[in-house]
Amino acid sequence: MADTGISTGQSAAAVRALSVTYRRGARLVHAARDVSIDIPRGRIVGLIGESGAGKSTVLRALLGLTKPTSGVVEIAGTDLSTVSAKAALALRNRIQVVMQNPYASLDPRWSVADSIAEPLRARSRQRGSEPMSKDDIARRVGEMLDRVRLPTSKLHSLPRELSGGERQRVAIARALSVRPAILVADEPVTALDNVTTAEILGLLEELHAEVGLAILIVSHSMSVIAQLADDVHVMQDGRVVESGSAESVLDHPQHPHTAMLIAASRYLDEWDGSGPELTTAAAR
Ligand SMILES: Nc1ncnc2c1ncn2[C@@H]1O[C@H](COP(=O)(O)OP(=O)(O)OP(=O)(O)O)[C@@H](O)[C@H]1O
Ligand SMILES: [Mg+2]
């Protein structure tokens, strides 16, 4: 993989003073307003907020899928608008994404092996990247399968032949195959049952600890955020209304909207604020 070698400071990625305005007919939708979020190297950052708050918009801007109306997207300390398209692509290559619905994000016609190999093949074809041989790719696919603890017997399975948790493991293996520095996860466990959720969260924690992966995770579940996140940002109506360590934000919310989100999450019985694995302190 081509490495740009740019490493200025401790930020893996960031949006600074990001605003995104969509036009819906004659109306303007201010989906992100002056949002600044830093994803420090090796940390897990949680992003919470009610539906429509602008969370996915921030993620899309970070991934280059939505153009900012104003503000800066930075990767490894470099403002992407200040570098060539080629350099911006090389920096974007550091970020990979896992979405809510692994069934939709995996091509139904592709086997597990092909799903995981595809980003490697695409990367290998990119100008300036080191080409990988078939054997290299097969080896990396095997490593990734091992890493997400899927048996090699699943290599030739199609998505429809896998459970939801297995599909999400394939999606994670696929995202990590190109060895990103940053993983962006938009509601990665929402579609999964409790046991599978615990397994996938455990896997993300392990990958974070083993390879120092920085993670930006969006979740409506406070227990997911409490278990994983070091830092938390709370969005409401396009704005970040509260930011801080997971402990301070979840245990002592300062903004009424944060308190409301926590109460709503408790009401849904996802997080009752008690029990050994449910407080942020005990989750570490
Ligand atoms: N392509 C688009 N065109 C117009 N409006 C959009 C577009 N994408 C998002 N929006 C609007 O921008 C706002 C923020 O949407 P966004 O998807 O970022 O919210 P979210 O916090 O991810 O919500 P959810 O939790 O439901 O996924 C919403 O009002 C949404 O309707
Ligand atoms: Mg969303």
Express each pLDDT in 119-138 by its tens digit.
Answer: 999 988 887 778 889 999 99
Task: Write the DSSP symbol of residue 132.
Answer: -
| Residue-wise pLDDT tens digits, 186-229 | 999 888 888 888 888 998 999 899 888 999 999 988 989 999 99
- The rounded mean pLDDT for the chain is 88
Q: Using the predicted structure, report yes or no on whether residue 37 has a pLDDT greater than 90.
A: yes
Model pLDDT, residue 220: 87
First to last CA, the chain: 33
Question: Which residue in the block uniquely carries the two structure tokens 């408790």?
Answer: 266
Using a 6 Å cutoff on CB, does residue 197 contact ligand 1? no
In the reported structure, the alpha carbon of residue 58 is separated from the centroid of ligand 1 by a whole-number distance in angstroms of 10
Is residue 58 lining ligand 1, measured as CB closer than 6 Å? no
* CA–CA gap between residue 191 and residue 25 (Å, rounded): 32
Testing ligand 1's pocket by substitution, the residue of 21, 50, 56, 233 carrying the most ligand atoms inside 8 A of its CB is: 56
Helix H or strand E segment including 263: helix 256-267
Rounded CA separation 92/81 (Å) = 12
- Give the closest residue (by CA) to ligand 1 atom 16: 54
Instruction: Give the pLDDT score at 282.
Output: 40
In this structure, the residue with its CA closest to atom 7 of ligand 1 is 22
248 — alpha (psi -120 to 50), left (phi > 0) or beta?
Answer: alpha
Is the C-beta atom of 29 inside 6 A of ligand 1?
yes
CATH superfamily of 42-64+96-283: P-loop containing nucleotide triphosphate hydrolases (3.40.50.300)
- Torsion sign (Cα): 188, 191, 195, 196: negative
Q: Percent of the chain scored above 70 by pLDDT?
A: 90
Distance (Å, whole) CA 79 – CA 245: 25
Distance, in Å, from the CA atom of 229 to the CA atom of 245, rounded to the nearest integer, reads 8
Residue 269: the pLDDT is 56
Give the integer Cα–Cα distance in Å for 209 and 274.
26
Residue 78 above 50 pLDDT?
Answer: yes
Q: Which pLDDT score is estimated for 104? A: 76
Place of tokens 């520095």: 181
Q: Is any atom of ligand 1 closer than 6 Å to the C-beta of 208?
A: no
Residue with tokens 């615990």: 198
Give the residue with greater pLDDT, 260 vs 193: 260
- Is residue 275's pLDDT more than 50? no
